[in-house]
Amino acid sequence: MEGNVKEHIAIYPGTFDPITNGHLDIVRRAAKLFSTTIIAVSANPGKHPLFSLKEREDLVREAVKGLETVQIDSFDDLLVNYVTRKKASAVIRGIRVISDFEYEFQMALMNRKLNPQIETVYLMPSEEFIYVNSSIVKEVARYGGDISSLVPPCVEISLKGKLTQITS
């Protein structure tokens, strides 16, 4: 029977500018549910990310070291096209608050319209990460606040360095 086990691949897409401990909480949860979880870093130039695509990929890669079933990739097209290319069966989305759900629900319905084979799985982060998002982390860091409990150490170092470059 072992040869007949179907691999279940999930895609966790995002800008990850930068990846936070909340994102990592979702990744760990997804890794328990799927045989492979691909963190797909979106180029998404419309969001004007602070970190380059390569920097974001490198930070994600460093942050998930040791999670054997987690892979890192990037994409720059429609999510459904990327998911189809990767032969994934699900898209992972984190839901923190009700307003997240409203937006994510619309996106899931559009993705289903474009490709009915793709399921969206919503995961809630641990309570300690409900309020954490990349924008808040960057804002706190910009004003010298302590972000050590909000992001992995590699992100804290890189974010402080990036912000120092910008203000110099």
Residue at token pair 């994510």: 104
Q: Considering the candidates 23, 29, 93, 138, report the single residue annotated as catalytic.
A: 23
pLDDT > 70: percent of the chain: 96
In a domain? residue 2:
no
Q: At 33, is the pLDDT very low, low, confident or very high (cuts 50, 70, 90)?
A: very high
Beta-carbon contacts of 123 under 8 Å, excluding residues fewer than 6 positions away, are 26, 29, 30, 92, 93, 94, 95
Residue 56 belongs to a domain with what CATH number?
3.40.50.620
Q: Considering the candidates 28, 96, 112, 162, report the single residue annotated as catalytic.
A: 96
In a domain? residue 3:
no
User: How many separate domains does the chain show?
Assistant: 1
In a domain? residue 1:
no
Q: At 2, is the pLDDT very low, low, confident or very high (cuts 50, 70, 90)?
A: low
- Establish whether 96 is a catalytic residue: yes
Name residue 9's beta-bridge partners. Answer: 36
Structural domain of 144: 8-167
Q: At 131, is the pLDDT very low, low, confident or very high (cuts 50, 70, 90)?
A: confident
Q: Considering the candidates 8, 47, 85, 160, report the single residue annotated as catalytic.
A: 47
Name the token pair of 131: 């309020």
Under a CB-based contact definition with an 8 Å cutoff, are residues 91 and 107 in contact? no
For the whole prediction, is pTM greater than 0.85? yes
In a domain? residue 100:
yes
- Establish whether 47 is a catalytic residue: yes
Q: Considering the candidates 29, 56, 93, 134, report the single residue annotated as catalytic.
A: 134
69 has pLDDT over 90: yes
Per-residue pLDDT reduced to its tens digit, 55-66: 999 999 999 999
Q: Which amino acid is at 69?
A: T
148 has pLDDT over 50: yes
Under a CB-based contact definition with an 8 Å cutoff, are residues 8 and 86 in contact? no
Q: At 99, is the pLDDT very low, low, confident or very high (cuts 50, 70, 90)?
A: confident
